Amino acid sequence: MVWMFHFITSLFTPSGVLRMSKKQKQKPQANQDPTSPASSLGSVGIFTDVLSSINSFFTSDNPAQASNRKRIERVCRCFTITNDRLEQVMAALEKAMDEGLSKEHGDKANLKMLPSYVRAVPNGEEGGDFLALDLGGTHFRILLIKLSGREAEMTGKIYHVPENIMRGSGENLFAHIADCIAKFASEQGVPSGKKLPLGFTFSFPCRQQGLTSGRLISWTKGFSVSGCEGQDVCAMLKEACNRRNDLDIDFVALLNDTVGTLMACAFKENTCQIGVIIGNGTNACYMEQLDRAPKLQAELADDGLPDEIIINTEWGAFGDDGSLRFIYTKFDRQLDQGSISPGKQMSIHL
């Protein structure tokens, strides 16, 4: 993941912005070099006191620390990414993104560059009660959200996905989720017959066919649930809920977690244009102009909606074609070979 931190910080430096307009660039703090790692990392939420601690270790004159520092530097030297290498990574990523958006190569590209069908960020006028479901690992969250302008009141609960369900059938997985939704709604005092809109955040590669429809491409993060790949996961959850007589759910959106992250940040600050996840896996989305996405123009042009769309890059697959071999270390190769999916999701194994 070392390259990921380097790359993300580069997004916030004047020389590293790939797709952000000038008005979206971050302003450096006073007396701070805008191209420094500390400035960049600070802008993506790394605390400055942590950076100071790291810096003091590597600049201390203490003999014991100096000796340890040299040993650490010898081991970690292979993880150092030069600016030239970082520029190579950036160029390779932009090339992969363009291929994923092209009409000719889009279906076969490593980076799927999937449309989210979300065409705008919140404008501050949203209101009402909503359910939110966030599935992306061994646990999932259910939230009851009350929106009023730029204010949001949230109540939530985390539920576990047992290993037998992670390795079981799709019917059992979605039945388990529906059962948890019903219990949560009851605990929150939601009347049994009340219809509530639900947004479903599904953090696995999914080819969306609309705002409320998407087919699973493949499981990641240790899931191997049968009967789901190629199926509409939103429809499967809806069927599980409909089999119960204590749920009345209106499915309003199927989102990737990166899209959910972007939208949540934009709810507070609507100039947000990029969402990034670094957790069990890593992924990013961003707002793209339709004229830079040839594969979507025939479907979405002249539909009366904004001429932009949030693109889910699925950049966990970046490097699966070998385009990142020049930064692999022996440790990266060992980690990849010991994973459950050697050769896949290479950028996550780095």
Taking only the tens place, the pLDDT of each residue in 95-151 is 999 999 998 887 788 899 999 999 999 888 888 899 999 998 889 999 999 988 788
CB 146 within 8 A of CB 197: no
Which pLDDT score is estimated for 157?
A: 96
Q: Is the pLDDT of residue 213 over 90?
A: yes
Told to judge if 77 belongs to the known catalytic residues of this protein, a careful annotator would answer: no
Taking domain 127-269, whether its CATH number is 3.30.420.40 is answered by yes
**Mean pLDDT, rounded, of the chain:** 82
Which pLDDT score is estimated for 8?
A: 52
User: What's the CA gap between 16 and 99, in Å, rounded?
Assistant: 20
User: What's the CA gap between 219 and 223, in Å, rounded?
Assistant: 6
Taking only the tens place, the pLDDT of each residue in 240-264 is 999 998 888 999 999 988 999 999 8
140 DSSP assignment: E
> Which tokens is 303 given?
């539909």
Greatest mean pLDDT among 17-21, 128-132, 316-320: 128-132
Lowest mean pLDDT among 10-19, 150-159, 235-244, 291-300: 10-19
Q: Which helix (H) or strand (E) holds 88?
A: helix 83-101
Told to judge if 84 belongs to the known catalytic residues of this protein, a careful annotator would answer: no
Q: Is the pLDDT of residue 5 over 90?
A: no
Which pLDDT score is estimated for 52?
A: 59
As a whole number, mean pLDDT of residues 149-172 equals 92
Domain map (residue ranges) of the chain: 127-269
Which pLDDT score is estimated for 137?
A: 84
Q: Is the pLDDT of residue 41 over 50?
A: no
Catalytic annotation, pick one of 19, 85, 141, 150: 141
pLDDT interval class at 291 (50, 70, 90): very high
Told to judge if 207 belongs to the known catalytic residues of this protein, a careful annotator would answer: no
Which pLDDT score is estimated for 51?
A: 52
**From the CB of residue 249, how many other CB atoms can be counted at a distance below 10 Å?**
21
Q: Is the pLDDT of residue 65 over 60?
A: yes
> Which tokens is 200 given?
């479903």
As a whole number, mean pLDDT of residues 175-181 equals 96
Catalytic annotation, pick one of 134, 257, 332, 336: 257
DSSP line for 145-187 = EEEETTEEEEEEEEEE--HHHHTSBHHHHHHHHHHHHHHHHHH
User: What's the CA gap between 65 and 87, in Å, rounded?
Assistant: 33
Q: What's at 310, amino acid-wise?
A: I
Catalytic annotation, pick one of 43, 203, 332, 347: 203
